[in-house]
Amino acid sequence: MQNYINGRWQNTTGTSEIELINPCNEQVLMRYFTASTQDVDAAVLAAHQAFHSWSLTTPLERADWLNKIANQLEKVQSKLIELSHLNNGKSSEQARVDVENSIHCYRYYADLVQKIAFSQITQCENGTELIHQKNPIGVVALITPWNFPLITSAWKIAPALAAGCTLVFKPSELVPLPEYEFTKMLDEIQFPQGVFNLILADAVAAQHLVAHDEVNKVSFTGSTEVGIHVMQAAARSVKRVTLELGGKSPILILHDANLDEAVDKALGGMFYNSGQMCSATSRLLVHQSIADRFYQKFKAAVESMTLGADLVGPLSMGPITTQKQLNKIQEYLMIAQNEKLQSLIDLNQIQLPKLGFFIKPHVFIDVPTESRLWKEEIFGPIICCRTFESEEEAINLANDSDFGLAATIITGSVTHGKTLAKRLRSGHIWINSFQMIQPNSLWGGFKKSGVGRELGESGLSGYLEENVITI
């Protein structure tokens, strides 16, 4: 594996080796050396040198390139799905959704960039003329985690290119294969040299990238813990930052909810992608009056789940992506045991495959609010449930978290759901739906879930710096 710098594949000069393992069968896929800080310097220099010409391209020219990327993604879809399955453990069904969503994202920004007024003139009554301008921020560093390859990167790469920024992209060192293929694709379409640079780096080189003087902005998606380091390092040179961090999102099931719908949304909101979602609705709050009937149906559904590689349907679950993450989830199960949390389901009903980083889904009920499982992001298939008597109590419980990324409300009255939604301190709220994110919506969190917003016009604004000329 090589880095892609200034339109050329270049050998890494780093000495730290990473082993990629297929999470479905624990077989080694490959080993590679990660980028050194010198490789990072070369990538930043290339982006810096390419900035002037790329920033002068017209919105239409940039839109053309974004559409070319989307067209090319469509052509290599099956390869990307295969690599996502191999490297991340996703089923082909879920990997296909990722690729399709990333294509939508490139097309969305290709369209949006043509509608934005990058320069606007106002003639004032006092005779002055104002020219408001939106300028690309400059060289941006884009850093992504391993749970949604191609999507988390599309949410950054598409608006950054649309804005006229040049970039250094660092995907997760643990799941680099889909984005490596994406870069090959850019090379094939002869994307302008130096505008897009890929470095396959670990935390050391990533830190160097974040602190680099020639980087004007960092857009980071990952854990809150690392996000805090990124923000601190960026502060030294007053870099702009967008941080998409962790979550511990609630799902509120109101007294008038349709129970089958509630089960469906609770399952998908928690166990899709094996629970490895920043926005997983992992704190379930159900109205006391329907709790017994809901729990009965939820228990039956979870106990009927099948674990395995490349399965189809909402009642199936693939592996955890890495051994390290599997260990972390198992540590939380030990805590649950020590805290004597009550399991809703009979785990014997679910079969565990012999090989692979699989873990059974877990549902705990009546979880105390002081429990670490209630408070902390686990990033695996563990859901904690509580009942509530009044909606006031539900809102307080939902908002009582360090995080504020997402929330779901299941209700028979959408009108009432909208009123309740206004009181939730979360960046994205679903009413009677789950984990559905459109490119023209908005993504980002309150509190420790992040800083700034991705997607929609806000996503593009995140790569623009405004100024004004007064004449």
* Nearest residue (CB) to ligand NAD, 51 versus 148: 148
For the chain, give the number of residues. Answer: 471
Alpha helices in 304-406 (DSSP H): 323-338, 372-375, 391-399
Shortest Å, Cβ 201 to ligand NAD = 7
Please name which of 439, 456, 443 lies closest in space to residue 70, comparing C-alpha atoms. Answer: 439
Task: Using DSSP, state whether 461 is helix, strand or coil.
Answer: helix
Please name which of 94, 154, 148 lies closest in space to residue 379, comparing C-alpha atoms. Answer: 148
* Nearest residue (CB) to ligand NAD, 291 versus 406: 406
Side chain identity at residue 411, one-letter code: T
Within 13 A of 294's CA, how many CA atoms are on the CB side? 29
Contacts of 71 (CB under 8 A, 6+ apart): none
Shortest Å, Cβ 103 to ligand NAD = 19
Shortest Å, Cβ 403 to ligand NAD = 9
Please name which of 449, 342, 335, 363 lies closest in space to residue 399, comparing C-alpha atoms. Answer: 449
Task: Using DSSP, state whether 166 is helix, strand or coil.
Answer: strand
Place of tokens 């002037």: 52
Query: Residue of minimal CB distance from ligand NAD?
Result: 222
* Nearest residue (CB) to ligand NAD, 139 versus 278: 278
Task: Using DSSP, state whether 135 is helix, strand or coil.
Answer: strand
* Nearest residue (CB) to ligand NAD, 227 versus 417: 227
Residues that bind ligand NAD (CB under 6 A): 143-148, 152, 170, 172-173, 203, 206-207, 210, 221-223, 226, 229-230, 244-247, 278, 377, 379, 405, 443, 445, 450
* Nearest residue (CB) to ligand NAD, 226 versus 382: 226
Paired strand residues for 342: 365
Active site members: 244, 278
Shortest Å, Cβ 439 to ligand NAD = 14
Shortest Å, Cβ 155 to ligand NAD = 8
Phi-psi region of 198 (alpha: psi -120 to 50; beta: other; left: phi over 0): beta
What does the radius of gyration of the chain's CA atoms come to, in whole angstroms? 23
Shortest Å, Cβ 272 to ligand NAD = 13
* Nearest residue (CB) to ligand NAD, 303 versus 454: 454
